[in-house]
């Protein structure tokens, strides 16, 4: 049965107690949780093990180092139960391939474009080339912004066989429905969920809006 949850919640916080509580509250409502350096440094890599009890965990470390270093960090996250790991594609195919190889069954997700204004200066200008690097390295998917629909559509055209995970939803101005309609497979939402009065209800609202888009795309059931 396909997973009908398309929301990945970014636990962008440093307090592991708060993160565990949020994960527990949202368990069963999300596709995955995304954790980055703030939370891992605020606790340790064991937080990945803890959060995996509630859903899949994507380690957003944006690895951008030489192959050996990328490999060592990836192995550590794999040992702690990560479902996915995010790495930069701009460092080249050899470094990204090292992540894919060390990841084993863990999904490698490559950054090809970002959601903040400064990304337009360099990385986003090379998005097409970076999609090709990701595909060539054997990545599972890519990161492309959900608050830049023009960029997302451009990436979608050439990201054949790659899952697209889109950040920039909510606080950064992106719409989950628009991102899914424009080619994203999953949306990444952080502050607008975690800071909501009722985070669980907010995730349900986003999932409902996404499912409406998917129903329109797929047409009536027969």
Q: Which residues are catalytic?
A: 62
Task: For residue 79, give both structure tokens.
Answer: 């040992």
Q: What is the DSSP letter of 119?
A: G
Strand ranges, E, within 25-113: 32-36, 56-63, 84-88, 107-111
Task: For residue 209, give both structure tokens.
Answer: 């809006």
Q: Computed from CA positions of residues 58, 60, 61, 67, in that sequence, does the dihedral angle turn out positive or negative?
A: positive
- Cross-strand pairs, 110: 87, 142
Phi, psi values for residue 55, rounded to 5° = -175, 175
SS3 164: strand
């Amino acid at each position: 049965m396909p997973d009908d949850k398309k929301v990945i919640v970014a636990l962008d916080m440093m307090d592991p107690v708060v993160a565990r509580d949020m994960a527990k509250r949202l368990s069963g409502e999300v596709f995955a949780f995304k954790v980055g350096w703030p939370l891992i440094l605020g606790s340790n890599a064991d937080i990945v093990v803890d959060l995996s009890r509630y859903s899949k965990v994507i380690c957003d470390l944006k690895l951008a180092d030489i192959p050996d270093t990328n490999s060592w960090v990836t192995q550590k996250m794999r040992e702690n139960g990560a479902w996915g790991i995010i790495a930069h594609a701009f460092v080249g195919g050899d470094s990204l391939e090292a992540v894919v190889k060390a990841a084993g069954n863990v999904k490698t997700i490559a950054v090809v474009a970002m959601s903040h204004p400064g990304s337009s200066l360099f990385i986003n200008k090379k998005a097409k080339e970076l999609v090709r690097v990701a595909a060539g390295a054997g990545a599972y998917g890519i990161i492309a912004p959900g608050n830049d629909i023009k960029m997302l559509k451009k990436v979608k055209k050439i990201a054949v066989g790659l899952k697209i995970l889109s950040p920039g939803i909510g606080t950064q101005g992106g719409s989950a429905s628009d991102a899914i309609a424009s080619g994203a497979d999953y949306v990444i939402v952080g502050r607008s969920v975690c800071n909501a009065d009722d985070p669980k209800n907010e995730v349900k609202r986003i999932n409902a809006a996404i499912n409406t888009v998917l129903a329109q795309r797929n047409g009536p059931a027969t």
